[in-house]
């Protein structure tokens, strides 16, 4: 019995943390489903790599409450996201659109990868062309034969 309790405790700790508190959950299941869907795309501005549903920070809670208030007020999904971006900037989006200044960030990684790969190819080709293998002198060949026979 004790082993089963330990396994259950380990399993529960392996589950992702959901920071949405019971007092935040909307009574309307359809609105709550929309809120959960939208919150997956909103970043906690403190945690940076977590969405607002997974974060325990105070600002994430405020964002969750604000999101649900906008949905209850009758905003569409697009209107809610536009409101959040207008208020907090595109940084609040986990996957910002690839346009404007964000386009530089989207393209920088692949561009640097291509530049690095191209530089490596050029370096290896130049290096291969400069390596000349000198033939062994007769004394070196004789010494090598002596070493190999021992």
96-129: per-residue pLDDT in tens?
777 777 778 778 889 999 999 999 999 988 887 6
Range of the domain at 86: 14-92
Report the SS3 class of residue 18.
coil
Q: Which two tokens stand for residue 146?
A: 């002596």
Whether pLDDT at 8 is above 60: no
Phi-psi region of 96 (alpha: psi -120 to 50; beta: other; left: phi over 0): beta
Provide the CATH number for the domain around residue 63: 1.10.8.640
Q: Are residues 29 and 53 in the same domain?
A: yes
Residue ranges in the chain assigned as alpha helix (H): 2-14, 29-39, 58-72, 77-88, 101-130, 138-149
Q: How confident is the model at residue 57 (pLDDT cuts 50, 70, 90)?
A: confident
Q: Are residues 19 and 88 in the same domain?
A: yes
Q: Are residues 86 and 116 in the same domain?
A: no
Please provide residue 71's backbone torsions phi and psi, each rounded to the nearest 5 degrees.
-65, -40
HSE-up of residue 126 (Cα within 13 Å, Cβ side):
6
Report the SS3 class of residue 28.
coil
Reported pTM:
0.57
- Tell me, what's the pLDDT at 133? 65
Q: Are residues 67 and 34 in the same domain?
A: yes
- Tell me, what's the pLDDT at 54? 86
> How many domains are contained in the chain?
2
Q: Are residues 113 and 79 in the same domain?
A: no
- Over residues 21-33, the mean pLDDT reads 78
Whether pLDDT at 7 is above 90: no
């Amino acid at each position: 019995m004790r082993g089963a309790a330990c396994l259950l405790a380990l399993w529960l700790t392996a589950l992702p943390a959901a920071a949405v508190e019971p007092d935040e959950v909307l009574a309307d299941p359809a609105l709550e489903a929309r809120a959960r869907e939208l919150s997956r795309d909103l970043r906690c501005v403190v945690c940076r790599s977590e969405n607002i549903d997974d974060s325990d920070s105070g600002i994430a809670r405020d964002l969750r409450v604000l999101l649900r208030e906008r949905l209850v007020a009758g905003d569409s999904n697009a209107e809610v996201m536009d409101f959040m971006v207008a208020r907090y900037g595109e940084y609040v989006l986990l996957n910002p659109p690839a346009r404007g200044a964000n386009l530089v960030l989207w393209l920088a990684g692949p561009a640097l990868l291509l530049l690095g790969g191209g530089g490596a190819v050029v370096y290896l080709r130049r290096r291969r062309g400069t390596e000349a293998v000198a033939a062994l002198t007769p004394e070196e060949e004789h010494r090598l034969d002596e070493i190999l026979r021992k």
